[in-house]
Chains A and B, each alone.
Chain A
């Protein structure tokens, strides 16, 4: 086929990009070369719209071993142990084919982690669906959950936490973000930078098929009516092969045979070979006739673009080929020497003894286009003036029940029962808590992780929303007794070519950066997913934060369930009663406007550190952060989990009980304090000048507040626990 501008456009390139390629190459590329350019220059691989802004992120810290730019980020957790982690999106494929899309999302992120030499120890996911009333939602949810479970369960890595939300803006673009944590000895981390000339380049894992061709370009475009036709671009996962690949790679990594290793993810062999060569400032020569193929007569074009799963590219020390082959033979995996490193600084492809492509590496990597896209600031909406007389017609207990059974607040047990969350024998906090917690095998340490996003806040005011999610992640880790260390982020946005969407991205990133800097909670890895848009309708901006923290003695881990009758319950942090953008305003007043709650970073940090101090001194016995739904929602969850009631005090000087109970002010926690600890707790709270309210006492089997609320916990539990199950069964 002759390469023309039209062919280039078909490959997702812009007119100007095609002329730039011809200019840089000083000739028209052939079809294979064009395909390589299209794969490397698309949004998904090149970060061309986002790179300028991502550079500003806060990525350094005392415990950071590796920040963004590698397969995953790495943090130091002491005693030579390090945690490798990253979150990644698989949105577009999951909408087209939910099971395989979600499954391969999990497979891909696990490969990113074990590529670095780490054994995966926990998976998390953040999944977002359209309105529950939308005809596709139920099947998409079922497929995605089955896909995530099908892959993670088979590999034998526990899925320890997650987040699921519903919003009509995801009707045509669901989000599936998967996160993996792995454990590695900090002196045995593997990177993707090739080094040394004439080193063998090895292909291992599954055979290459025609699946997933153009997957990365698909992820770089918006959807239209013909989206179903893209089904063949979705990869098909084989978790069994991945399990073998994991064990084989870790076995080979036990000695010093590997120079560099990179998994074949988006844009498969193209992006993995170019990245390794580019980082090592080398050239690479690949003989495509040697690539193990599962289908006949595959062309160089197809081989280079295939996104078949469970494959790795390795640059090996010379002379180690036999040794490595033995290991992969043992695990019944393909092993082929397909090329070598060169000093040409080009990627050169040979097929049937003929050179079929030759491109200078720097054109694909450093010289890839970068755009400074125009963007628009979002103004902070005016604060609403609620008609408080209108509230009086609402009974507090009815409001509470309605909020607890809201699709975004209700219990997600139906989902996580389908994920193996206990395999590996170290899960000490299961899904459903503020964060999942796994022990670092054979030690007293434990790692906590949580995934969070707040699309409503980010949509209303991206700058505040960006800050808020980082704080929420921070609080979730503190709530289980963990010291927050670092985050990974998955930035899900609409079309960057639209000023509003680009503005949402820029300002969310700004918010994330400001908060992570202030809280010393650096970003070490992440990914950007743009073009979450169908027929011109984009998603609400949904940056997802995956936070990781450390508990140095796992016996000090906290959970949210109320423990003992007679213990006191305090709200830590000040409540002003911010109702704009709250679930209360949305569900009970049908009010969707107004600004999100203000984020005060000083308070977040100060209160967070106070809480850590209290938990390290064993002065509190349960803890939960106050987020969506406010104080009453948070307390109800603690009651339901602990199967215990609470008698809430008549609160003096309260301006409005609805604002107090359902307001979503930030930087607040609810804690359970044994009477014997109370004096010390108050001393510490005063020392840090932290505001607190004496909320009540754990008592009986109901929630009681004056004459307003008297609800048996069982009734609340029914409202909270079964919404999703009923929805899925209906």
Chain B
């Protein structure tokens, strides 16, 4: 499976994502934000970081960058686009995903392991995933998902909510919500479920010496579903 990771000035999880993708067998390439086009890919990843310093608003400048038109075209033609953390913020700013990511409820950056519940498996990311609960890792200051009532209803009606924050036992409530996100939302899809944005970083959970290994399941699953 061929993948491309877009590097914006200020991206800082681009290398980690490259390492993770290659570890599980993706043929990955790095693409510079000022390039006009993206090499032939089966998956495009917008990595975490602080694109353009996250000045103005997280992800907003990146959503107007040169490369982004190709990303939008690719998404609209059904290609898989994955945005992690800042990548998720960029996807909401482009309009490919609904809603926005506000500053965390307690106004602090949070770096911590979290559990997320997989809410929908009828998609190329989570189909056939053996687990329903994943332990992943978050590191962000603006991960507090919010959208309008109409948008939320449509997300729910179309099963576009991908993952939600929960406890180790699957409980979803205020105490298992690290950043105040609406309905504990940690990640969502677009209508066609080819575009996924999520705050947690699977690429930081790819071997047992790191914070955990559940990120491996995520990447392997995408590959398995592609075969």
A binding-site residues for B, Cβ under 8 Å? 146, 149-150, 153-156, 238-241, 243-244, 330-332, 416-428, 430, 439, 554-555
Query: Nearest 10 CB-CB pairs, A to B?
Result: A156-B12, A240-B53, A425-B16, A420-B139, A154-B50, A428-B209, A418-B109, A420-B111, A422-B204, A149-B109
Size bin of chain B's contact surface: 20 to 34
For A155, give the chain B residue with the smallest CB separation. Answer: B12
For the complex, is B9 an interface residue (Cβ under 8 Å from A)? yes
* Contact partner, B52, options A239, A240, A416, A423, Cβ 8 Å: A240
B39-66 residues with Cβ-Cβ distance < 8 A to A are 48-50, 52-55
Q: Once the chains are docked, how many angstroms separate the CA of A420 from the CA of B34?
A: 28
For A333, give the chain B residue with the smallest CB separation. Answer: B9
Some 26 contacts from A to B, beta carbons below 8 A apart, are: A146-B109, A153-B50, A154-B10, A155-B12, A156-B49, A238-B53, A239-B50, A240-B54, A240-B55, A243-B9, A243-B12, A331-B9, A417-B108, A417-B110, A418-B109, A418-B111, A420-B109, A420-B139, A422-B139, A422-B204, A423-B48, A423-B204, A425-B19, A425-B203, A425-B210, A426-B210
Are B108 and A244 in contact, with the CB atoms below 8 A? no
Task: Collect the chain A residues with CB atoms within 8 Å of residue B109's CB.
Answer: 146, 149-150, 153, 417-420
For the complex, is B117 an interface residue (Cβ under 8 Å from A)? no
**Distance in Å: Cβ of A563 to nearest Cβ of chain B:** 15
Are A425 and B209 in contact, with the CB atoms below 8 A? no
Q: Which of B19, B50, B52, B110 has the most CB of A within 10 A?
A: B50
Known pairs A149-B109, A418-B111, A420-B109 / 12 extra A-B pairs, C-beta < 8 Å: A146-B108, A154-B12, A154-B53, A156-B12, A240-B10, A240-B53, A244-B10, A331-B9, A417-B111, A419-B109, A423-B204, A430-B211
Interface string of B113-135 (1 = CB under 8 A from A): 00000000000000000000000
Task: Collect the chain B residues with CB atoms within 8 Å of residue A244's CB.
Answer: 9-10
**Distance in Å: Cβ of B117 to nearest Cβ of chain A:** 22
For A157, give the chain B residue with the smallest CB separation. Answer: B12
For the complex, is B173 an interface residue (Cβ under 8 Å from A)? no
Task: Collect the chain A residues with CB atoms within 8 Å of residue B13's CB.
Answer: 156, 423
B binding-site residues for A, Cβ under 8 Å? 9-10, 12-13, 15-16, 19-20, 34, 48-50, 52-55, 108-112, 137, 139, 141, 201, 203-204, 206, 209-211
For B17, give the chain A residue with the smallest CB separation. Answer: A425
For B178, give the chain A residue with the smallest CB separation. Answer: A417
Task: Collect the chain A residues with CB atoms within 8 Å of residue B203's CB.
Answer: 425
Task: Collect the chain B residues with CB atoms within 8 Å of residue A241's CB.
Answer: 53
Task: Collect the chain B residues with CB atoms within 8 Å of residue A149's CB.
Answer: 109
Are B108 and A418 in contact, with the CB atoms below 8 A? yes
Task: Collect the chain B residues with CB atoms within 8 Å of residue A154's CB.
Answer: 10, 12, 50, 53-54
**Distance in Å: Cβ of B122 to nearest Cβ of chain A:** 31
Are B16 and A424 in contact, with the CB atoms below 8 A? yes
For B48, give the chain A residue with the smallest CB separation. Answer: A423
For B12, give the chain A residue with the smallest CB separation. Answer: A156
Q: Once the chains are docked, how many angstroms separate the CA of A420 from the CA of B13?
A: 12
Given contacts A418-B108, A422-B204, contact A554 B9 (CB under 8 A): no
For A428, give the chain B residue with the smallest CB separation. Answer: B209
* Contact partner, B111, options A146, A150, A243, A422, Cβ 8 Å: A422
For A729, give the chain B residue with the smallest CB separation. Answer: B106
Q: Which of A150, A240, A421 has the most CB of B within 10 A?
A: A240
For A430, give the chain B residue with the smallest CB separation. Answer: B211
Q: Which of A416, A417, A423, A426 has the most CB of B within 10 A?
A: A423
**Distance in Å: Cβ of A152 to nearest Cβ of chain B:** 10
Q: Once the chains are docked, how many angstroms separate the CA of A330 from the CA of B33?
A: 11
* Contact partner, A239, options B53, B108, B111, Cβ 8 Å: B53
Q: Which of B109, B201, B210 has the most CB of A within 10 A?
A: B109
Are A243 and B50 in contact, with the CB atoms below 8 A? yes
Given contacts A154-B10, A154-B53, A331-B9, contact A421 B19 (CB under 8 A): no
Task: Collect the chain B residues with CB atoms within 8 Å of residue A243's CB.
Answer: 9-10, 12, 50
Given contacts A154-B50, A240-B52, A332-B9, contact A423 B209 (CB under 8 A): no
Task: Collect the chain B residues with CB atoms within 8 Å of residue A428's CB.
Answer: 209-210
For B111, give the chain A residue with the smallest CB separation. Answer: A420
Q: Once the chains are docked, how many angstroms separate the CA of A244 from the CA of B141?
A: 21
Q: Once the chains are docked, how many angstroms separate the CA of A428 from the CA of B209?
A: 6
Q: Once the chains are docked, how many angstroms separate the CA of A154 from the CA of B52?
A: 10
Task: Collect the chain B residues with CB atoms within 8 Å of residue A439's CB.
Answer: 209
* Contact partner, A423, options B108, B139, B206, Cβ 8 Å: B139
Q: Once the chains are docked, how many angstroms separate the CA of A478 from the CA of B79?
A: 50
Q: Once the chains are docked, how many angstroms separate the CA of A421 from the CA of B206?
A: 16
Are B110 and A418 in contact, with the CB atoms below 8 A? yes
**Distance in Å: Cβ of B21 to nearest Cβ of chain A:** 12
Q: Once the chains are docked, how many angstroms separate the CA of A332 from the CA of B65?
A: 14
**Distance in Å: Cβ of B8 to nearest Cβ of chain A:** 11
Task: Collect the chain B residues with CB atoms within 8 Å of residue A423's CB.
Answer: 12-13, 16, 48, 139, 204
Given contacts A156-B12, A156-B13, contact A417 B112 (CB under 8 A): yes
Task: Collect the chain B residues with CB atoms within 8 Å of residue A421's CB.
Answer: 111
Q: Once the chains are docked, how many angstroms separate the CA of A239 from the CA of B49?
A: 12
Task: Collect the chain A residues with CB atoms within 8 Å of residue B9's CB.
Answer: 240, 243-244, 331-332
For A414, give the chain B residue with the smallest CB separation. Answer: B108
**Distance in Å: Cβ of A561 to nearest Cβ of chain B:** 15
Q: Once the chains are docked, how many angstroms separate the CA of A150 from the CA of B9?
A: 17
**Distance in Å: Cβ of B199 to nearest Cβ of chain A:** 13
Task: Collect the chain B residues with CB atoms within 8 Å of residue A331's CB.
Answer: 9
**Distance in Å: Cβ of A486 to nearest Cβ of chain B:** 25
For A244, give the chain B residue with the smallest CB separation. Answer: B9
Q: Once the chains are docked, how many angstroms separate the CA of A155 from the CA of B209?
A: 23
For B50, give the chain A residue with the smallest CB separation. Answer: A154
For B206, give the chain A residue with the smallest CB separation. Answer: A425
**Distance in Å: Cβ of B131 to nearest Cβ of chain A:** 21
Q: Once the chains are docked, how many angstroms separate the CA of A332 from the CA of B53?
A: 13
Q: Once the chains are docked, how many angstroms separate the CA of A156 from the CA of B204?
A: 13
**Distance in Å: Cβ of A88 to nearest Cβ of chain B:** 22
For B49, give the chain A residue with the smallest CB separation. Answer: A156
**Distance in Å: Cβ of B35 to nearest Cβ of chain A:** 12
Q: Once the chains are docked, how many angstroms separate the CA of A330 from the CA of B35?
A: 12
**Distance in Å: Cβ of B212 to nearest Cβ of chain A:** 10
Task: Collect the chain A residues with CB atoms within 8 Å of residue B53's CB.
Answer: 154, 238-241
Q: Once the chains are docked, how many angstroms separate the CA of A189 from the CA of B43?
A: 38
* Contact partner, A419, options B111, B204, B209, Cβ 8 Å: B111
**Distance in Å: Cβ of B155 to nearest Cβ of chain A:** 29
Are B204 and A425 in contact, with the CB atoms below 8 A? yes
Task: Collect the chain A residues with CB atoms within 8 Å of residue B55's CB.
Answer: 240
Q: Once the chains are docked, how many angstroms separate the CA of A417 from the CA of B138?
A: 10
* Contact partner, B209, options A146, A238, A554, Cβ 8 Å: A554
For A425, give the chain B residue with the smallest CB separation. Answer: B16
Q: Once the chains are docked, how many angstroms separate the CA of A77 from the CA of B78?
A: 48
**Distance in Å: Cβ of A632 to nearest Cβ of chain B:** 29
For B14, give the chain A residue with the smallest CB separation. Answer: A156
Task: Collect the chain B residues with CB atoms within 8 Å of residue A425's CB.
Answer: 15-16, 19-20, 203-204, 206, 210
Q: Once the chains are docked, how many angstroms separate the CA of A243 from the CA of B12?
A: 9
Q: Once the chains are docked, how many angstroms separate the CA of A656 from the CA of B50?
A: 56
Q: Once the chains are docked, how many angstroms separate the CA of A430 from the CA of B20?
A: 20
Task: Collect the chain A residues with CB atoms within 8 Å of residue B209's CB.
Answer: 428, 439, 554-555
Q: Once the chains are docked, how many angstroms separate the CA of A146 from the CA of B9?
A: 22
**Distance in Å: Cβ of A329 to nearest Cβ of chain B:** 11
Q: Once the chains are docked, how many angstroms separate the CA of A555 from the CA of B209?
A: 8
**Distance in Å: Cβ of A112 to nearest Cβ of chain B:** 20
Q: Once the chains are docked, how many angstroms separate the CA of A422 from the CA of B108?
A: 17
Given contacts A149-B109, A154-B10, A240-B55, contact A422 B50 (CB under 8 A): no
**Distance in Å: Cβ of A442 to nearest Cβ of chain B:** 9
For A142, give the chain B residue with the smallest CB separation. Answer: B108
For B19, give the chain A residue with the smallest CB separation. Answer: A425
**Distance in Å: Cβ of A495 to nearest Cβ of chain B:** 36
Task: Collect the chain B residues with CB atoms within 8 Å of residue A420's CB.
Answer: 109, 111, 139
Q: Once the chains are docked, how many angstroms separate the CA of A680 from the CA of B197?
A: 53
Q: Once the chains are docked, how many angstroms separate the CA of A418 from the CA of B13?
A: 17
Q: Once the chains are docked, how many angstroms separate the CA of A641 from the CA of B218?
A: 28
Task: Collect the chain B residues with CB atoms within 8 Å of residue A419's CB.
Answer: 109, 111
